[in-house]
Amino acid sequence: MAYVVAERPPAIVIGSGFGGLAAAIRLGARGYRVTLLEKLDKPGGRAYVYAQDGFTFDAGPTIVTAPFLLEELWSLCERRMADDIDLRAITPYYRIRFDDGSHFDYSGDHAAMKAEIARFDARDIAGYERYLEASATLYDIGFDKLLTVSFDSFGKMLRTVPDLFRGQFFRSVHGLVARHFRHPKLRMVFSFHPLLIGGNPFTATAVYALIAQLERRHGIHFAMGGTGSLVKGLVSLIEGQGGELRLNTPVSRICVEDRRAVGVELSTGERLMANVVVSNADAAATYRWLLPDAVRDRWTDSKLDRARYSMSLFVWYFGTGRRYPDVPHHMILLGPRYRSLLADIFDHKVLADDFSLYLHRPTATDSSLAPAGCDAFYVLSPVPHLDSGVDWTEAAEGYRARIARYLAATVLPGLEQQVVSSRLLTPMDFRERLFSVKGAAFSLEPVLTQTAWFRPHNRSEDVEGLYLVGAGTHPGAGMPGVISSAKVLDEIVPDP
């Protein structure tokens, strides 16, 4: 006897960043027939991979802090992540170098951390213990009651307020850290984490201090082959579910009928219809550029203009003709200023003469990412978004040269004579290539008034059948955040 299998209802996901990839997997696991649309020639979004001159450069995220969130996606497909992905624990997590040449090795080893703290001020060891308790409280609140829960009703937000007060959410991350540490350098060490998700430590709500606890509990990892190996693995899961990835396929608009998303129109004019539309494009760009004005009651142009956007990034990817074995996998080089530099970036929108940097040397862990005897690097400098008025077509090379001279004078001697491969990413690339409003690298800034219910909701407030994932929606930027935004869909997208 023959059985007729009902056609799976169609779902469209716009954008193949980590949020879009995770959303496609979750929708596919629930019975949707998923089409994933990507404007670029490769998947990954900010996790794009550049291959040139024998080097492999991960364009964006390099740190895996919550491997269990990825493992869950493999489990949904009845597969083991360990069969596809080789994750390696990194220690120390980061080496933080101060402008005077001193450094702090930040790790998950409790005894080693206390010893590092004692080198600066032994009195702060007790403060460190108290800070860990505060961070643990925020982690328990954040992961259980914030990260994977939809905040599309204000009542749900209100129910979390007692817990948030217990976690001192009304303070900034730096404000919370300053309550526990005396030494100014230790205050920098323990407050920089919001920069990893586009936030200013002096204005980001203290909820984001949970990142320290996330690292402590689950470690810092690197995927062998680079972050691109994770993207490749996630794409294989989608294809194994029968989903389709279409590259070089820009979406020009989301089709709306009677205030309901019914599909998308591509730049070619082709229309694809769907029961569910998920946008992994920048949240502000989704509302401003993909939806008609007539259906936008909440996220209007005026509201988007008033919103606060994260800083942008200047990134130099480079390969060297020699190795630098004394440079660890992750290094943060703090400049002569901290608070005032961040004010220049976030508040004044000024490209300062000084900078702080994140230096990534993946070949410290995986030598396959560079030719034999060579190293692959990228160096990242937080810079103001495009409201600064900086013309990066003119400024980029000079800024790169300043960074190169600084690195040569500090941790990479002889660098300028050793560079054999080079490319740049500027705030203009975030706007033009990655479709980000103002060229902001992390979409909306993670301040209290743009957190949880106050961010663009995962279920669109304006258009039925439209859902948002990624950095600009709840819970926010960073790999754990964008992957968790897809998990929220399980709560709010109806069963097929």
**pLDDT tens across 76-108, in order?**
999 999 999 999 999 999 999 999 999 999 999
DSSP 388: G
pTM equals: 0.95
Of 157 and 10, the one with more pLDDT: 10
Q: Which of 302, 490, 411 is nearest to 403 (CA)?
A: 411
Q: What's the rounded mean pLDDT across residues 360-377?
A: 98
Per-residue model confidence (pLDDT) at position 6: 53
Helix (H, G, I), strand (E, B) or coil at 8: coil
Q: What's the rounded mean pLDDT across residues 148-157?
A: 70
Residue type present at position 310: S
Residue 5 pLDDT greater than 70, yes or no: no
Q: How far apart are CA 227 and CA 253, in angstroms?
A: 30
Q: How far apart are CA 367 and CA 370, in angstroms?
A: 6
Per-residue model confidence (pLDDT) at position 143: 73
What digits encode the pLDDT tens for the residues 451-470? 887 899 999 999 999 999 99
Per-residue model confidence (pLDDT) at position 349: 97
Q: Which two tokens stand for residue 348?
A: 């004044």
Contact status, residue 480 vs residue 238, Cβ threshold 8 Å: no
CA gyration radius for the chain?
22
Residue that has been written with the tokens 């409790």 in this structure: 110
Q: What's the rounded mean pLDDT across residues 48-52?
A: 97
Q: Which of 367, 357, 368 is nearest to 315 (CA)?
A: 357
Contact status, residue 30 vs residue 491, Cβ threshold 8 Å: no
Per-residue model confidence (pLDDT) at position 170: 73
Confidence of residue 449 (pLDDT cuts 50, 70, 90): confident
Crossing angle of helices 18-29/67-76, nearest 10°? 30
Residue 333 pLDDT greater than 60, yes or no: yes
* Residues whose CB falls within 8 Å of the CB of residue 24, separated by 6 or more in sequence, listed in order: 13, 16, 34, 36, 238, 243
Residue 281 pLDDT greater than 50, yes or no: yes
The dihedral formed by the CA atoms of 41, 400, 441 and 432, expressed in degrees to the nearest 10: -50
Q: What's the rounded mean pLDDT across residues 30-48?
A: 97
Per-residue model confidence (pLDDT) at position 419: 98
Q: How far apart are CA 25 and CA 283, in angstroms?
A: 20
Backbone angles phi, psi at 364, to 5 degrees: -65, -25
* Residues whose CB falls within 8 Å of the CB of residue 239, separated by 6 or more in sequence, listed in order: 245
User: Beta strand 55-58 with 276-279: parallel, antiparallel or unpaired?
Assistant: unpaired
Crossing angle of helices 479-492/67-76, nearest 10°? 40
Burial class (CB in 10 A: 0-12, 13-18, 19+), 397: exposed
Confidence of residue 207 (pLDDT cuts 50, 70, 90): confident
Percentage, residues of the chain above pLDDT 70: 95
pLDDT mean across residues, the chain: 94
Q: How far apart are CA 28 and CA 9, in angstroms?
A: 10
Residue 167 pLDDT greater than 70, yes or no: no
What digits encode the pLDDT tens for the residues 65-84? 999 999 999 999 999 999 99
